[in-house]
Amino acid sequence: MAAFIVTLVIGVGLFLLGWFQYRKARASRAWPAVAGRILSAKVESETSRGDQDSPDSTSYFPAVQYEYQVGSAAFRGNQIEFGRRVYSKRQDADTALLAFPVGSSVQVFHNPARPGECVLERKASAGRPLMVIGGLIALVGVLTAVTR
């Protein structure tokens, strides 16, 4: 029974995370765009420690900082899209950053109700996959509990 609950919670959590990102990306299609400027762009990394059966793994992701103005108020943002692009190879993260050279002009899409909420691209690459994976994990948990 405990395995069912853990599996269900993980599955539902992943599904909701993906759904939230997907929903925000859809809502942002109506957000206005303003001119912005890239202040910094770099690749950051995170290493997950493996155990005795698996090696450590490093994930890479593009990180940007940009500035923009809405009316007379200045803002800074750091989201490329909803969620975070993660790559297993540094080279892929470097390639993703080529679209955002430091000093370049970009379009910044901002929430008109909260201008500090912004993205450079109105999408959530991980939204749908997270919903599918989360749904499948939750389904496995339910099926496991039902067949016992």
* Closest by CA position to 91, among listed 54, 50, 58: 58
Is there a contact between 4 and 144 (Cβ–Cβ < 8 Å)?
yes
pLDDT in tens, 10-51: 776 777 777 777 788 788 889 999 999 999 999 999 988 877
What is 47-110 written as a DSSP string? EE---TTS--EEEEEEEEEEEEEETTEEEEE--SSSS---BSSHHHHHHHHTTS-TT-EEEEEE
Is there a contact between 66 and 36 (Cβ–Cβ < 8 Å)?
yes
pLDDT in tens, 65-121: 999 999 999 999 999 988 778 888 999 999 999 999 999 999 999 999 999 999 999
Cross-strand partners of 106: 36
> Domain residue spans in the chain?
1-30+126-148, 32-47+56-121
pTM: 0.74
Q: What does the alpha-carbon distance between residue 144 and residue 52 come to, in Å, rounded to a whole number?
A: 28
